[in-house]
Structure 1
Amino acid sequence: MLGGPFYRVRLGRKDALTSTTGSITGNLPSPNMTVDQLISLFARRHFTVQELVVLSGAHTVGFSHCSQFASRIFGYDGGARDAHDPAMNPRFAQALQKACADYVKNPTIAAFNDVMTPGKFDNMYYQNLLQGLGLLASDQALAADPRTKPFVQLYAANQTAFFNDFSRAMEKVSVLGVKAGRKGEVRRRCDVGKGFYMKSIRDMIQGKRRRLIVGVDDIRNYSLDLARRLILSPAEYILPISDALTEVTRNVDPKYLKEGERVLVGFSGQFGSRKITPRDLISSFIGSMVCVEGIVTKCTLTCALS
């Protein structure tokens, strides 16, 4: 869609069991890192200086919030409010000062990493650096340091070289820190890992709610047989699941539920292919499992009371 290069991604990589913001610190480049710091960071992961420069080319798309480059456009080096980084194109700096004037009040204000072709994956990022149009300090520094500048010049002049080298570097990134043996997990859904529902339970307790929604697809991924039996006879399983969740919540917080209270369980997603509204019920559905406005039930014949 953006016109970038093709590269292969090896299959079978496991996901981590946990993901925390604290694990990012020191493992990803920050917008104000020096070239020395960038080279050291990438070298610890066995990436060369050239690979550092070519992977930085990913900033040909995307955006950065004003807070990530404010020190370059406001009061640079302790100067006046409108003092900007001299490495930055003056007109570019003035435009950013105007765009980010209220970034403290509104931290969502952002600017494109590539001001010239923000919606296209190309080598304009490198051309921008040579013109003082780099947004982040860590990016612009690549065009000044003698260790990295030759590669910036190479990719600015040769998009094919950039695409080829970027593809190889990304394939190398794809196998960085691969987990083997019992480490990590293979997820059927990338957004649901081990501990997902435990976190949901804690959030439910914190929010003083008594209803937990379980994804039908998650049950299928855990056990197709359990999902099939749940669909065929939901009443047989909903209460035991509710009892189990109630016991879990009591272990997490004994004061969460009053005596006699229980956690209610609901299901999201579709049971089979029939998901309908009451007005759509017809005689051919009798005896089938249907999902009527979020409630899973077996369709039976009813009549009005006189």
Structure 2
Amino acid sequence: MSDVFRYRLVLVVLAATTAVLFLLSLTVGPAAIGFRDSIAALFSDQRDAIALIMREIRLPRALLGLTIGATLGLCGAALQGYLRNPLAEPALIGVSASASLGAVLAIYTGFSALFPLGLPLAALAGAVAAVIVVQALAGGRGGALTIILAGVAVSSFAGAMTSLALNLSSNPYAALEIVFWMLGSLADRSMTHVWLAAPFMLASWIMLGLLGRALDLLTLGGDAAQTMGVDMRRVQLMAVLGTAASVGAATAVAGAIGFVGLVVPHILRPLVGARPSRLLAASALGGASMLLAADILVRVIAPGRDLKLGVVTAIVGAPFFLWLVWRTRRKLA
């Protein structure tokens, strides 16, 4: 089997899996609605209870699971290719932690209670601040190591400020809301959240998708890539801005969801070959499938307990990543 045929086969399988999981996400829930009735209500002109459940609850949740999962998988693959670091993930450049800090400040100050979109907008502002600081610290000619160090510094500061807000919160309900939001969830989201995050995600997908050739050449080393016409400053800017825009938007509407951008590229890399450009589309589909599956599990395992999505992805992702580390060590031994 040729590499091209295997790559196309992997994309077809991932696309089919994502489509099936998207349909399941639309039809699975505590309301006992049949599959045919669910789909019919989604496209009908009626305004009954079933149609409202499908359009106002399940459709936004499924769309966010699809787009946020694709974003996390794509950004993880792009960062691992650009930084040439298999441990790279979207949280590495500080965007997730800073977006979380923005949301925490909105809850802590009561801004989210006064303005319905205050929380996601504050989270987006935190993400913007993070990318500005990372770019300023790294500079136009900063290499991969500089980006990583700047991201770690921003993440550490944002995490410390988040802990400080929790520590100083005099309202136990606000502290509980902060903790629950940071665990990540797609519950109780509306189409407003979808329209808020979608433009940032789409712009990011285009930016990161254009980096395919540059990422392939970067496997030869930064100096070799530059001699072959790769503009390292442009690549750095597109990788950081693309990741910040989409991950910031994802965190703004769903909270912090980890391990998707780290684990999915590792799972798919052996299946698509050594070319980072091929991993981009595969990781986007794989991330969408993983997050949709995790969200379905949340609704099936504990429908009445509001199990958080970030908890499920960590429970599934952390042991699998440990297994990957163990398998890698055995190969190197």
Who wins on radius of gyration, i.e. which is larger? 1
TM-score, normalised to structure 2's length?
0.22
- Higher RCO (CA 8 Å, separation ≥ 6 residues): 2
TM-score, normalised to structure 1's length?
0.23
**Larger relative helix fraction:** 2
